[in-house]
Structure 1
Amino acid sequence: MSEDSFHAKLKSIYDKVCKYVALNLSNVSVIRQQELLKLKEVREKLDSNQKDIDYLQLSSTKIDSAFKAAQQELVEAMEEEDSAAELAAYEKADTLRKKLSTHQEREQNLKLQRSFLLKEENGVKEFLSRSEDMANKFRLILEFLQDQGIKAMSDSDTEKNIKLLSAAFSLAELDSRFLARNLHDGSAQKLSGAIMLCELAERYLEARKIKEAQIELGKVKTQMQEAIFDIRTLLFQIHPQGLEEGLDVALERYAKQACDRYGVDISFQTDGNITGLSMILRSNLFRVIHQALDNAIQRGAAKKVDISLSAKSDGFSARIADNGKGFDVAKAKTIAQERGSYGLTNMEERLRLFGGKLTIDSSPGNGTVILMSVPIPEDDR
């Protein structure tokens, strides 16, 4: 097969893949909209159900008090041997007993209905989480292909074409899993929690419990601030500010955000032409180093992190050392895979795609040192 024929066939496959991914992304979006409407309906039913339960519980408390009072009246009438008063008290107590029983039975039915609604809500939320994961995969694959696919196919090196396209799919898969998990575990949960706190504050306001409502609204404010920070962090990861100026510039800007929020002391040392790295290599190195830094702060509870970057004529290397609590590397990888979280594996895979390697030296109580190295292609030297 001639080179021109190969490129034409490759272009045809590329166009079909893009079309297929875009179509599936559209279908997932439609389904998600339907499920979001369903989630809204279920939550409206849950809200109505809870109000009915609250009303019945309050009403049952009043009826129970009245029933006990009627029983006392009956006892007193019997002691006084007042037949008329005794009959009236008995009928009153019996009526209240039946009414209380009806309320309690209805309350049990409402609680059973609530249990089914909560299961339905959890099912819809789980589906939305899975569909968001799928949409992210399709979206990132499409964006990555559109950004890198044409560049790869315009290159005259056939072997490089295939490697770049393969890397495009692999990296898109890694990014989609990373973003989906972070959105689900971070900002999405905080926003869901904020909504529930708002609903609780609303109930306090309806009950005229102003102080309790103010406390819950204060919690809402904190949750929203944290969610905004998480979203800004994710946006920074998707498109790191300063990456065009250099890998070290982007990392220093992210480090400043981490310092401001967590109070971590982060130091930088650079050697060589860090700014000379290609954008695709910068982007992926940033994500690996960012993950290492995030792990040190979030999981290792480190208070000091030292980062050293070096770019020589034949390769790039980095060292990230922290004074955190450390961990059992092999055990952590096993647990992460069981949970479906592949942070460390993703770091290794991302470097491997560029011919690099990752070494992690850590043990409980002794901090962590991460070493990484990547060969620099001749075109980028």
Structure 2
Amino acid sequence: MDSIDNILKNALEAVESSKYQIFEICETARGERNSLYSELQRVMEETTETIDIVDKLELDYKRSRIRLTEVSRDFRRFSEDDIRIAYEAATGFQMQLTLFREKEENLKQRRDDLQKRVKNVDKQVERAETVVSQMNVVTEYLTGDLNQVTRILESAKNRQLLGLKIVLAQEEERKRIAREIHDGLAQTMANVVLRSEIAERMLGMQQYPAVKEELIDLKGQVRGSLEEVRKIIFNLRPMALDDLGLTPTLRKYIQDFEDKTKVHTKLDILGRETRLPSGMEIAIFRLVQESFSNVLKHSSATSVTLEITFQKQMVKIMIMDNGIGFDVDYTEARASAGNHFGLMGMRERVELLEGRMDIESAKGEGTRVSMLIPISSETQ
């Protein structure tokens, strides 16, 4: 432990020394920036004044040329002195205009150069301030408790892993929706287009009975597509959750599940049914949805029962199936290694709700998943 303290002490001294050196560099850069900014302001003001003078000289030079042209054409009205005076005036304005145009160009170049230098110095100051800030964080870590540093690092790592898992879950959901649309709705709509073209040709050939049959079949396919769209929307966000609550939504979901998969389903509601916070209702629905999906994918079950018990301060969810079962310890180990995202995702969702999930299963004896979730108004 003493060696670790010495390492931390030496590292802290090196960081502090480097921090003050960077701070001095930052202060020097700030001074240079202020000086450059003051010069830039002066150059910009002088540039504006010079531009105004150039505009005025251009107007005066234009008028003097017009005057020179007038006196040069009419020798009866104007004498040689008038022509000479007009010529000298035009030449004078031209020389001044040339000088001030050159001055304007030089000032603009100087202004652009100063702006670039100010921008570069600003970046240096910003980088130096960032490094100083990072070193302050490092100093706080090194001067704090080593265990606290370890906990902070582990917490950051866990947050990153959780973020990655959320991204993976989102991508899996997108893939599932894409498959549903491609395999179901997209194929049906393509078939509808084809059948409508056939009906159009038959109509042109005046085969009215056949056209009628095609249109009847076409109407049935459109109704099927509409039902498929409604199922996809329901899976994305069951609107019945907001309107009717958790129990009616789950009742519809398991009925649709039974109709689609031919797996016998049963829903038992125990206790006094009550509306839960919105966030908790959608979380419980997703947990049930994932559980039923696991049953369909892995259990080969012919029946599954969902039991929800409403208590005063807790909701108990139990999903039981008569499938082939599995080795819980082995599957939990695979989930911890990241090889079973469904089970791992369910457990993390329950933990985010400050609940507990237990799994009971054995090969050939089905599976029982129990989840206890405390009711909290803060879940909304």
Scaled by the length of structure 1, what TM-score is found? Answer: 0.42
Scaled by the length of structure 2, what TM-score is found? Answer: 0.42
